[in-house]
Amino acid sequence: MQDRVIEARELTKVYRMGEIEVHALRGLSIDIERGEVVSIMGPSGSGKSTLMNIIGCLDRPTSGEYYLDGERISDLKDDQLALIRNQKVGFVFQTFNLLPRASALANVELPLRYGDRRNNRRERAGAALEAVGLADRIQHKPNELSGGQQQRVAIARALVNEPAIILADEPTGNLDTTSGDEIMELLLSLNKQLGTTLVIVTHDPEIAEKTNRIIRILDGLVEASK
């Protein structure tokens, strides 16, 4: 019995830029199993970012159906999408996107403030930071941390709500090779420990090699999946 955490059918996405219609996705379908580690590759303009936005529930497809963790996403309202993002998706960005004035702990706590009514936020945020190996840095501000450490904080923030998927957009793009490797190892080990599905969007073939499966996107369609 297959357990699909991501199931996308015939997704299309059309942007209007003035008079011109841009077809970013042209009927793309993908499936991702729970616990898989998948990388999405493709040149700029291939529709890779659009796909990532739809998978991450930041955007809706023009047509087609998308199920995330069994829930139909394609036609939810903005606030419902916000809740889905909060509960089921963990984002890791290339530029970390931490709040500069907030401590590591407060940054990790941020997703819990939206939507979570429980009171043990601080403990859960602390536990997530411990899981990424930053237990001794919880009160540091982002500018007091190295790039690798900042990305670890971002990963802890993605983990803290125990999401169905972690969506990482070029997670090592702004890091040197050593810390980049460390971040990849961290992501992979978290996948092993927690079984969280990991979707990595990347240009870097070395990164892609470390994943179970590479989905190549070209001109809004899946070119290859292996």
Residues that bind other proteins (CB under 8 A): 53, 56, 58-59, 78-79, 82-83, 85-87, 91, 93, 97, 99, 101-102, 110-111, 113-115, 157, 161
The CB-of-150 to other proteins minimum distance in angstroms stands at 13
Cα distances (Å, whole numbers) of residue 71 to 8, 65, 164: 11, 11, 11
Please state, in angstroms and rounded to a whole number, the distance separating the CA atoms of residues 23 and 27: 10
Minimum distance between the CB of residue 58 and other proteins, rounded to whole angstroms? 5
Residue 87: CB minimum distance to other proteins, A: 7
Nearer to other proteins, 72 or 113 (CB): 113
Parallel, antiparallel or unpaired: strands 89-92 and 165-169: parallel
Contact between 105 and 139 under an 8 Å Cβ cutoff? The reply is yes
Q: Which is nearer to other proteins, 39 or 86 (CB)?
A: 86
- Alpha-carbon distance of 200 to 171, in angstroms, equals 8
Q: Which is nearer to other proteins, 29 or 87 (CB)?
A: 87
**What's the min distance (Å) between Cβ of 72 and other proteins?**
19
Q: Which is nearer to other proteins, 80 or 212 (CB)?
A: 80
Task: Give the three-class secondary structure for 199.
Answer: strand
Contact 211, 37 (CB under 8 A): yes
Between 67 and 93, whose beta carbon lies closer to other proteins? Answer: 93
Considering the complex, what minimum distance in angstroms separates the CB of residue 98 from other proteins?
A: 8
**197-201, strands of its sheet edge to edge:** 89-92, 165-169, 197-201, 37-41, 213-218, 221-225
Residues recorded for the chain: 226
